[in-house]
Each structure stands twice: as structure tokens, then as C-alpha cells.
Structure 1
Amino acid sequence: MRPARPAALAILAVTALFVSSCGSGGGAETSGAAGGASGGDGAVDYPHPVENCGEGVTFDQAPERVVLLETAPVTILDGLGVLNRAVARAGDFPAEYYDDDLNERIDGIDSLSEDLDASGHLAISQEAVVAQSPDLVLGQPDGVDRGSLASAGSNLLIQEVYCPDSAMNATYETLYDEIGTYGEIFDRGEAADELVAQLRERVDAVADRSQGEDRTAAVLYPTVGGGTTYAYGNRSMAQPQLEMAGFENVYDDVDERVFDVQIEDLVDRDPDVLILLYQGEAEGVEQAVTELPGAETITAVRNGDIHTQLFNFTEPATPLAVDGLERISERFQGD
């Protein structure tokens, strides 16, 4: 879960990085999507620069050894036919996100750690990442530093909606641009264009079905067992997801991706629908909101118009956010 995105905590000594960079990991079987483990369209000249979170990242060649430090990029890599280049992964990869074939291939990727803290953040050492000798690391949990990885020969990319201090308002174009960037990096432009076309068609289909909706909604990440409840503003993928599903985000006036919300404010804004995000188990997620003092007066709670879904079905900008959009549409369309 990424309700907050603190900066990386520690820059490890470069010497230690190089000492630990001699390890290797096993990759998954070749993806069933376009392409194999090497080669590409031949349309990209290397070295190839891209920009990520305002920083230049240069690829001397298409990445061959990828380490996944978050679940979200899996469906992009699979759509481009390069998931077989993932040599290691860390974190929780819920089976509900993927079909049986993709789950089997994910299971074939070496797991470095499945340790998550109470807020859902991955706990892993930078040495464990560098030991895989990656040329691309996707995701940046605390303690993993872009500069130190670069010194060890590893590029790091973060999903654009997670960039610190980002002023970007997310849209589904954010997703299409993200796929285009990956297509450039791996020289899979044709596969990227095909994937974007398929996703556009699905998003447009939901938007067409949702015309005429005039209800409001809020997307929340409640803390089970008590604690902070987070809400998503106009810089999160929750914003375009609600818009495409025909809802007005009650927090569309908040220029943040995610922020703490008090029950009094939620009651005052009185959304017609609640979308609740979670990681791990769904048990207790709905009760974490409905049992807050005064929650029974919220229209969504009173009418039972509450939908829970795993976090990556809304954030960040990946094909899973299209799956999540369709789930929301199926839940509320025609109500």
C-alpha cells in the first residue's frame, strides 16, 4: 500500500554495492505475449534516455535482468512480452490480479522477500537487490536509492504517479504514456501500441456505458483495526477511474495523490458510493469505515453502496487499473 511515499532512507556505500553485485537470480518462463528474451523491433537506438520523476535515466541496451520491487509493473511487462526478463521479485503478488497462466509464471520468478510492514510497504535491503545484478529495478521501497543503484550499474524506474512532489493530475493517458515508455526502453513499440489500443477500447466502453451518471464517490484506504483513513485526490488514478465510471470524486478539489481524512469531513462530503482499497486480506476493510463514529449517516453506507478491491486495481497507472475500472462499472452500472 502506498498511502504515503517517503524518500529513500539510506544511501549505502558504493563499495558494498559492487561487492554484492556478483549474484544472479532465476527468471520466469518466456511470456506468452509478443517477443522473446532478446531482440526487439529494432526501432530504438541505444543508448536511449528517458525521464523518470524529473531525472534522466539512460539505457545502454534493452534491459535483460529486471527486479520487481512492486506488483504493478507485471501486467505491463507481460503485455510487452518481456516478463521473462524478471530475474527476481519482492513483495506480495496476489493471485487475484492475474490469470492462471500469469500466476504460474510469476511463481517461477525467484522471490527475495515477502515482508511487508503494517502499512503494506515492502521491507528489503538494497544489498539483496544489487546481488541480483539487475540492469533495471522497478519500484522504490524505503532504503533503496536510485543513485546508489546507478553506481552499481542498475537503473531504477518509479511509476509516475508515485514520483515525489509530482504536480501531475493523473488520467488514463498517464497509463498509456507509461506503457509507451516501457515500449521504448525494451524496444517493443509495436507491442506497446497494441496494448494501449486494447486498453483504450476497454476504457472507452466503460465511459460510454456510464454516461448520464450523476453520483459522487470517494476512494479510501482504511486502516483495519483502527488508525488513519486515507483518501485519494485528483493526482491519483482514483480520479480518472471514478470519472470514467461516471462518478464525481468528492475529493477532486484536493491537489494531492493521497492524504489523511477525518470522518467528519467524509460525512460532510457525503459520497453516494465508497470504493475501499486494501492489501492482504479484505476481512475487516469495510467495517473499518462503517464503524467509524457518524459513518452511518453517509449515503453510501446507508444504502450499502460500498465496493472493496485490491489496491493495484486502482493505483498506480497499469492495466490493472482498467480491470478495476471494469469491476467498479459492473458493481454499480444500472443501480
Structure 2
Amino acid sequence: MRTALCALLLLVSGCGATVAQDKPAVDPVTVTNCGQQVTFDQVPSKVVTNDTGITELMFALGLKDRMAGYVVDGGNTVDLRTSPWKSDFDSTKKLADKISKEVVQGANADLVFAGWNYGFTESSGFTPDALKQLGIGTYQLTEACRNGVGKQRGIMPALDALYTDLRNLGKIFRVEAEAEELIKGYQQQISDAGKLMAGKPRPKVFLYDSGQDQPFTSGRNAAPQDVISKAGGDNIFGDLDDSWTTVNWETVVQRDPDVVLIVDYADGEANTPAQKQAFLEGFAPLANSPAVKNKRFFALPYAALVESPRNPASIEAFAKYLSQA
């Protein structure tokens, strides 16, 4: 009887043997990030993110509990106020306004999720290589990957960059099903938005981020390119093989925009979309452009116009505006 009982228990507990209670080690995963193969031996548990859109990627995938905290510039108050993940921001620690080695070391980070000009920069010494020397892993935002021509950024269309990062993060954090579900929903939302401008003329759109001496705008590799094009317009600087970049006013005037899409954040010269619109309306060389003459201005928050899970909703909102104008 005891032998039979022991045999039965052996199937469950080993019957007198010592049974390890620890969960099995997670198998390493390798993803391609900015053209490099990056392997993660463990699921990161103390992630520090830099910038609003990057942080929202983590929140959208339900990864708040994997974060040590986030870094967001103090000028991005509009982002936080309008975020669909405001409660996640409120319940996650804000570490600083500016990211640095000291900030991520103080948070005991095991991974920093940032991008070139989204935290990573040689001028401050805050780079993936510098963090590697400190034993801290990095993941780079795909929208901001350098493409091998100087410091130009962008290696794929903006929405492809969004989907790439969602899938990579899904693998790294073992939430692949959640990532695919998000992508499926975003693709449907974008497809539906595209129908709003079907058969209508495509307006020429100038993305105005900031800058009064010289305008800062979006080339074809930053998120506004797809926000504009999928909504039914044409980015007047869609021929530039770069992401966010500085141009000159002469070219803006020559390209004669029909609509201006304004980035809503404090840029140091103008703190509101109304102030930016007032500057453009008072800028004499643009006075005869259709955008100014017809007062066709539309604003979206900064986080809606960098790579982020807000991009599909931004496309829908801009498409609605264009279809009604």
C-alpha cells in the first residue's frame, strides 16, 4: 500500500526527493535593433524610458511593472495631460526631466529604452556604448536609427518602425500576443481612416515643429510622414531622406503648403499652437500660401507625432480634419 502511494506521489512530488520550486530560466531571445543583433538573456525588470512616446509604447503593451521609471522633458506637459495612459504616468515614477548616466544608475536600470536625439547623443556622452560599459543594456527606438549617412536617422517607413518596435518588445518581454493584437487594431484603424479622403485631392502639408529663424520639420523617415500620407495629404518635405530635420523658409514658401500641421509642445520660442499659428500668419513670405490665406492649421501633441502608439489615432484625427476642410 505504501509502495503504491509512494508511486502515486512520485508523479506529483517525487516522494521523498527534493523538488526545485524555482521557475525554469527564461530562454534568451535575440532581436534585430537598428541593424544589430541584440540578445536578452533575461526579461528586463528595471527599464528606464526616455521621452513620452517611448514610455507609452511600454504602457500600451502592459509593461508598466517592468519599469524603474521614466524621463520626460518638463516642456511636454501637454503630452502627459492628453495621454491615453495618463493613469500609468501618474502611478510610475518620473526620474528626471533630462536623462543621464547618473539618472539610470540611480534607478538601478537593467535596460534603457531611448533613441538618437531621444536621449542618446554623443555631446552628453549618453550613448549605447557608454551604457554598455556600465553593464546597462539598451534598446533603440527604430524611428531614430541612424541610416549610415552622417547622423541622418530613419531606416524604414515610420509605421513599419512602430510595428517593428512593438514586435521586438513583445519578444523581449514575452508579450508577443499582446503586440500582435495592438498591431492588428492599429492597421484596421488606419485603413478605416484612409477611407475618409478617398477620391479627394491630396493637400500639401507642412509639418511645423518649431524654429523662427529656420523651421524644424519632418522628412520621410519620421512619424509625421505616415501620419500625413495615411490621412490623405502629402508631406512637402517627404523627399528628404531623414527624420526630424531643419530646412529653410525659402523652400517652405516655394512648396506652397495648403495645410500646416503644428506640433503642440513648448519649443522655447512659442509655447502653444496658437502662438505658432500667429507667428506663421505674421510671417510675410508665407502670406500668400493657401494654408495662411485659408487659415488651415491643425495641431497634435508632440507624442502623437513621434513614433508612439498614438500614431494611428493621429492619422484618424488628421484625416477627419482634412476631409471636412
Judge same fold: TM > 0.5, yes or no.
Answer: yes
SS at match of 1:153: coil
Contact 1:75 1:319 in 2 (8 A): yes
Aligned to 1:217: 205
Kindly state the Cα deviation for residue 55 of structure 1 after the two structures are TM-superposed: 2.9
Partner residue of 2:37 out of 56, 59, 63: 56
Contact 1:210 1:244 in 2 (8 A): no
Aligned-residue identity in percent: 21
Kindly state the Cα deviation for residue 264 of structure 1 after the two structures are TM-superposed: 1.9
Partner residue of 2:103 out of 128, 135, 138: 128
Kindly state the Cα deviation for residue 167 of structure 1 after the two structures are TM-superposed: 5.1
TM-score (norm: length of structure 2): 0.79
d(CA) in 2 for partners of 1:162 and 1:234?
Answer: 12
1:29-69 superposed Cα distances (whole Å, 9 cap, x missing partner): xxxxxxxxxxxxx9x96322222223332211111111111
Alignment pair present for 1:109 and 2:60: no
Report which of the two structures shows the higher radius of gyration computed on alpha carbons. Answer: 2
d(CA) in 1 for partners of 2:141 and 2:198?
Answer: 30
> Residue type of the partner of 2:230?
M
> Residue type of the partner of 2:161?
T
> Residue type of the partner of 2:302?
F
Aligned to 2:260: 274
Aligned to 2:222: 236
Partner residue of 2:80 out of 95, 108, 126: 95
Change (3 A) 1:172 1:136: same
TM-score (norm: length of structure 1): 0.77
Alignment pair present for 1:332 and 2:318: no
Aligned to 2:194: 207
- Matched residues, number: 280
Contact 1:220 1:231 in 2 (8 A): yes
1:202-254 superposed Cα distances (whole Å, 9 cap, x missing partner): 1111012221232221212123xx43311212112222211111112222222
Cα RMSD after superposing both structures: 2.1
Q: Which structure 2 segments of 5+ residues have no match?
A: 1-23, 148-152
Contact 1:57 1:155 in 2 (8 A): no
Contact 1:73 1:138 in 2 (8 A): yes
d(CA) in 2 for partners of 1:308 and 1:219?
Answer: 10
Kindly state the Cα deviation for residue 314 of structure 1 after the two structures are TM-superposed: 1.5
Aligned to 2:146: 164
Contact 1:276 1:306 in 2 (8 A): yes
Q: Larger deviation: 137-146 or 202-211?
A: 137-146
SS at match of 2:60: helix
Between Structure 1 and Structure 2, the one with more helix by share is 2
d(CA) in 2 for partners of 1:202 and 1:179?
Answer: 16
Contact 1:313 1:325 in 2 (8 A): no
Partner residue of 1:294 out of 263, 273, 285: 285
Relative contact order, higher structure (CA 8 A, sep 6+)? 1
d(CA) in 2 for partners of 1:196 and 1:155?
Answer: 26
d(CA) in 2 for partners of 1:55 and 1:275?
Answer: 34
Aligned to 2:114: 139
SS at match of 2:59: helix
1:88-139 superposed Cα distances (whole Å, 9 cap, x missing partner): 111246334423xx3232122222212xxxxxxxx33312212211121111
